[in-house]
């Protein structure tokens, strides 16, 4: 006798195919997938990978600029830099929260980062030897982040897309503060102008690498674009960044270190040289100039912060117990 014959109310579980169909329809209609919706394992896994890497990048990204907080040349510059670095911490927190909606634990993600099992952006493995680096990070790195992340505000996964809206607003302020800092230095002494040009020379190519490997060598792109997690290819966003940055460089009065860079009238965009993809591979696989230092400092900060996490957990437990007692009284 089956359930129908027993007379019991039957709520049959939809078949897997129905879930898949409904997910595909949500994507096709450009609607958002939300945490409680059914999603394919691959979609969930890709999101966890990308969002966790993104969160780690924000947190590790506090280090290169954070190194200048105690050495900023004026109170105003110190306050600006302090606020910016604090914003990056906030971005990391929104993103870890978005990742947690997919069923992973933030503590576990941090462990994966400090054990070298998860990546973070290649760009944060380069040193910041002068204060001009702070300006160039704002201009190039936050500028590249805006090109890459504005389309992520339309990403198909709701919590990720919503986190990106606020992050992008803040990145836009970060980019402008960097450019304004550089403008000020360019109006200064010959030595300051040389310092800006030197920082531009060092950061240009690594900034182009932030967008990831070329499309022909980007194993995750096809699925991510079909799922509308990514809206544009790595090369397309890289081109947009170049087109956006060239006129800004002209206005600033610096030279971008690429002899192949020129306007292509027929295509209405710039032609530019090829980044050193071997360098990107080395940096991503742990062999960049600062990888070891970045991860070590992250590990130390995590260990030194253990007492804060314990105190916060104890406080939360006490509050919850008080609320329960209050409800019972
Ligand atoms: N660095 O198939 P692909 C910020 C990896 S924070 C390291 O093209 P995908 C800021 C990639 O993960 C900015 N790894 O991958 C913070 C993959 O490895 P796995 C951070 C890279 O995901 C503080 C493999 O290479 N932004 O702005 O389709 C201060 C093959 O690549 C990189 C984000 O995280 C790289 N540059 O595309 C200031 C944005 N490139 O995982 C500023 C969100 C590639 O298969 N992420 N890899 O082992 C994305 O948009 C995409 O994940 C990427 C890569 C475009 C980065």
Could you write out the DSSP letters of every residue in 209-254? HTT-S-GGG-TTHHHHHHTTSS-S-HHHHHHHHHHHHHHHHHHHT-
CA 54 to ligand 1 center in whole angstroms: 7
156 ligand 1 Cβ < 6 A: no
Name the residue of 53, 65, 151, 231 whose CB sits within 8 Å of the most ligand 1 atoms, as the mutation to test its pocket: 53
pLDDT at 4: 44
Cα–Cα nearest to 95, from 175, 168, 173: 168
Specify the pLDDT at position 10.
57
Q: Chain centroid to CA 107: how far?
A: 18
Taking the chain (329 residues) in runs of 10, the rounded mean pLDDT of each run is 47 84 96 97 98 98 97 97 97 97 96 96 98 98 96 97 95 96 98 98 98 97 97 97 98 98 97 98 96 97 96 96 90
CA of 121 to the centre of ligand 1 (A): 6
* Cβ of residue 166 lying under 6 Å from some atom of ligand 1: no
Is the CB of 148 inside a 6 Å radius of any atom of ligand 1? yes
Whether 142 lines ligand 1, by a CB cut-off of 6 Å, is yes
Q: Is the CB of 122 under 6 A from ligand 1?
A: yes
Q: What is the pLDDT of residue 328?
A: 86
Encoded tokens for 241: 């960044």
Query: Is the CB of residue 168 less than 8 Å from the CB of residue 107?
Result: no
- H/E stretch holding 271: strand 269-271
Q: Is 233 in the pocket of ligand 1 (CB under 6 A)?
A: no
What CATH fold (topology level) applies to the domain 16-328?
Ferritin (1.20.1260)
Find the angle CA(301)-CA(283)-CA(216) to the nearest 5 degrees: 130
Residue 286 CA to its chain's centroid (Å): 18
pLDDT at 199: 98
Query: 43 near 226, Cβ under 8 Å?
Result: no
What the block records as the tokens of 187 is 């109006």
Strands 269-271 and 262-264: antiparallel
User: What was the pLDDT predicted at 72?
Assistant: 97
In the chain, where are the structural domains located? Answer: 16-328
51 closest CA partner among 175, 152, 151, 168 = 152
Cα–Cα distance for residue pair 283/208, rounded to 1 Å: 14
Provide, for the chain, the percentages of residues in helix, strand and coil under a 3-state DSSP scheme, each rounded to the nearest 5: 70, 0, 30
Ligand 1 contacts CB of residue 46 (under 6 A): no
Bridge partners for 263 per DSSP? 270
- Alpha carbon of 75 to ligand 1 centroid (Å): 34
Residue-level pLDDT at 7: 47
Q: Whose CA is nearest to atom 32 of ligand 1?
A: 212
284 C-beta closer than 6 A to ligand 1: yes
Euclidean distance between CA atoms 115 and 216, whole angstroms: 30
CA of 120 to the centre of ligand 1 (A): 7
């Amino acid at each position: 006798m089956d359930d129908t014959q027993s007379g019991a109310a039957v709520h049959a579980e939809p078949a897997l195919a129905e879930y898949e169909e409904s997910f595909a329809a949500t994507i096709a209609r450009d609607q958002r997938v939300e945490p409680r919706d059914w999603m394919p394992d691959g979609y969930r896994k890709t999101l966890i990978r990308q969002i966790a890497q993104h969160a780690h990048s924000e947190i590790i990204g506090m280090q290169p600029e954070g190194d200048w907080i105690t050495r900023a040349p004026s109170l105003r510059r110190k306050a600006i830099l302090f606020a910016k670095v604090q914003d990056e911490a906030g971005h990391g927190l929104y993103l870890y929260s978005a990742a947690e909606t997919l069923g992973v634990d933030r503590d576990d993600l941090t462990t994966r980062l400090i054990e070298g099992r998860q990546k973070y952006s290649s760009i944060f493995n380069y040193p910041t030897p002068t204060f001009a680096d702070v300006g160039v990070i704002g201009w190039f790195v936050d500028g590249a982040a805006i090109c890459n992340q504005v389309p992520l505000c339309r990403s198909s996964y709701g919590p990720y897309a919503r986190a990106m809206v606020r992050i992008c607003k803040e990145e836009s302020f970060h980019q402008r503060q960097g450019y304004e800092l550089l403008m000020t230095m360019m109006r200064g002494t010959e030595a300051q102008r040389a310092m800006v040009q030197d920082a531009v020379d060092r950061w240009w190519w690594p900034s182009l690498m932030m967008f990831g490997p070329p499309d022909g060598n980007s194993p995750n792109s096809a699925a991510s674009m079909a799922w509308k997690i990514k809206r544009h290819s790595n090369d397309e966003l890289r081109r947009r960044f170049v087109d956006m940055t060239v006129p800004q460089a002209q206005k600033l009065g610096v030279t971008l270190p690429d002899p192949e860079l020129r306007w292509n009238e027929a295509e209405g965009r710039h032609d530019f040289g090829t980044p050193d993809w071997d360098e990107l591979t080395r940096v991503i696989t742990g062999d960049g100039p600062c990888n070891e230092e970045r991860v070590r400092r992250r590990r130390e900060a995590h260990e030194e912060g253990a007492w804060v996490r314990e105190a916060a957990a104890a406080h939360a437990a006490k509050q919850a117990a008080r609320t329960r007692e209050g409800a019972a009284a």
